[in-house]
């Protein structure tokens, strides 16, 4: 399977715990995005990387959220001191930018977080 892979698919945690999600993009893609989706809403942009550089992170929801893409391949999204309001589906998407970027993103199946 050469699609975008996300792990774990489901995570249940207690409030105050830290959680980390991993995303493996399509191998030749140089752009990687994180989105959050809550029930009844469309995906909400959080951050993105071009190769290993995090070029936009102002939309991360709070300083408890952080993301890395250390070698320009896989990425991790960490949420520290989780709160019940963090319960959502976290989506990863990747794309390849060449020339004029027309925006097609390829999405993974998401990681669902439940904070008790």
Partner 1 sequence: AQSVTQLGSHVSVSEGALVLLRCNYSSSVPPYLFWYVQYPNQGLQLLLKYTSAATLVKGINGFEAEFKKSETSFHLTKPSAHMSDAAEYFCAVLSGSARQLTFGSGTQLTVLP
Residues that bind partner 1 (CB under 8 A): 3-4, 33, 40-45, 48, 55-56, 91, 93, 101-110
Smallest gap, in angstroms, from Cβ of residue 18 to partner 1? 25
- Nearest residue (CB) to partner 1, 70 versus 103: 103
Smallest gap, in angstroms, from Cβ of residue 89 to partner 1? 10
Burial 55-80 (b: 16+ CB within 10 A, else e): eeeeebeeeebebebeeeebbebebe
C-beta separation of 106 from 3 below 8 A = yes
Smallest gap, in angstroms, from Cβ of residue 92 to partner 1? 9
What are 74's two structure tokens?
Answer: 């896989």
- Nearest residue (CB) to partner 1, 3 versus 8: 3
β-strands 88-95, 75-79 pairing: unpaired
């Amino acid at each position: 399977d050469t699609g975008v892979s996300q792990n774990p698919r489901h995570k249940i945690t207690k409030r105050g715990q830290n959680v980390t999600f991993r995303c493996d993009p399509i191998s030749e893609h140089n752009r990687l995005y994180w989105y959050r989706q809550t029930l009844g809403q469309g995906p909400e942009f959080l951050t993105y990387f071009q190769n290993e550089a995090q070029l936009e992170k102002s939309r991360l929801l709070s300083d408890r959220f952080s993301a890395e893409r250390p070698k320009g391949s896989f990425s991790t999204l960490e949420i520290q001191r989780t709160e019940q309001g963090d319960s959502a589906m976290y989506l990863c998407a990747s794309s390849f930018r060449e020339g004029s970027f027309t925006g097609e993103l390829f999405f993974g199946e998401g990681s669902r977080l439940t904070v008790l």
